[in-house]
Amino acid sequence: MQSIGITGVGSYLPEAIISNAEIGHGAGVTDEWIVRKTGIRERRRAALHEATSDLAAVAAERALRRAGLTADQLAYVVVATSTPDHPQPATAALVQDRIGARGAAAFDVNAVCSGFVYALKTVEKLLLSAAPGEPRHGLVIGADLYSRILDYSDRRTAALFGDGAGAVVLGPVAPGRGLRRVSLVSHGDAHRLIRVEAGGSRRPASASTVTEGGHFFRMDGRGVRAFVQRTLPVEIERLLTRAAVPHDAVRHFVPHQANGAMLAELWPDLGLPRAALHLTLERYANTGAASVPVTLADMDRTGAVAPGDLVVLAAFGGGMSLGTALLDWTLTPVTADTPTPAGELLSPLTW
């Protein structure tokens, strides 16, 4: 049977670097407090003219170059985000237009910080069902601009997030390679742990919702930590058992970059004795749905992962949603001969 795997990866982090000192001043905390509580030292912030689709389009272009493909070869463009450019149209439609993916189906997925893994599973299944002669490549992008929805006086959330986008190209790979298994689960009874309460159909935007701060991101940090500690080890055990893969065969673990202190505490309980734990949060903080593909792009760029390595991805976010994936890495290391189709990076979108 045909298998689907990652054939290209790319990322984009905005130029502006925001230090803990800058964040801490407004939230009433110190650099030392932020590092001790989160492991984060800095994060990126989008420019005023940049929206989620701008970051997503650049990451997409870079992933396509890495894959040696052009946008017109895509069947799908899917953006995982909980900070879209607008309530509608879908951010993916804007990205499709920007990169020139004419004819591709474009839509968004919102599973908050788990969205990239949810989109990965969706596009894999769509590509496997393609009829003969139909395009067999899809683009999965995780992108978020949490800087636009943070209350910078709230020390529980102000320091945690950065802006960024990561993208992968999915396409045919050798049978038995690529995505070996993807598992998704949601716990809707815990949806109150992470929320933006206003701006939707239940509490439409109004002067009162703005005054009350209803459009800011809110999180019960202790509740989220307890949820992840309780559920993530179970999900990884289930993923590997169903894939019939022993724990010691896994070489890399790429988690959602939520909080370094929490991940350090959780890591010994995951039972992956020969895996490397990959963290990019020290430099980029939590980039929401972008955090897993941004980390994959860093791994690819630095040569930290090799063909044949087994990689476990794990993401968790509002809803409460969890997504885990086991993949057999198929990208060959970057060399001077790596295909890079011609074309400049995209300019910001204007309306």
Residues involved in catalysis = 113, 256, 286
Distance (Å, whole) CA 331 – CA 339 = 12
The residues near 212 (Cβ < 8 Å, ≥ 6 apart) are 198
Quick one: how far is CA 323 from the chain centroid?
Answer: 11
Q: Strand 137-145 vs strand 163-173: parallel, antiparallel, or unpaired?
A: antiparallel
- The residue type found at 297 is A
- The residue type found at 69 is L
Three-class DSSP category at 164: strand
Q: Helices 31-38 and 20-27: crossing angle, nearest 10°?
A: 100
Distance (Å, whole) CA 115 – CA 317 = 8
Strand partners, 108: 79
Distance (Å, whole) CA 34 – CA 42 = 10
Judge contact between 120 and 315, C-beta under 8 A: no
Longest dimension (CA), the chain: 60
Helix extents (H) in the chain: 20-27, 31-38, 52-67, 91-99, 115-128, 207-211, 221-243, 260-266, 281-284, 291-302
